[in-house]
Amino acid sequence: MGYGISVLALDNPNAPDYVGEFSSRAQVYELAIRQAAQTTQDYVSAYAAYQNFLDEELDKAYKMLMGCLDRDARHALRESQEK
């Protein structure tokens, strides 16, 4: 009896949809890049705003991850980021 990988996956409908939430927040910046940019400076500004958004999102994710790790794992993660 063979089961596909999808059969083995568990879905928790109560779990936060972090990817969906991120995608919703990112749409504003992605739309600005596609629609508003008419000049080189417009593109530079739109991409700079998107980069700032992504930096903030990465910082939030990093802090969330650090809050879930034990002391040794936090130390290992910090060390890995310094290299």
The pLDDT averaged over each successive group of 10 residues in the chain (83 residues) is 54 84 95 83 92 97 93 92 79
Given a contact cutoff of 8 angstroms between Cβ atoms, the answer to whether 77 and 69 are in contact is yes
Domain boundaries, the chain: 5-82
Query: Which pLDDT value is given to residue 81?
Result: 85
How far apart are the C-alpha atoms of 59 and 51, rounded to whole Å? 12
Rg of the Cα trace of the chain?
19
Alpha carbon distance, N-terminus to C-terminus of the chain: 47
pLDDT of res. 65: 92
pLDDT computed for residue 2 by the predictor: 54
For residue 37, the model assigns a pLDDT of 63
CA 26, CA 35: separation in Å to the nearest integer? Answer: 14
pLDDT of 14 reads 84
Q: What is the pTM of this model?
A: 0.72
CA distance linking residue 23 with residue 67, whole number of Å:
23
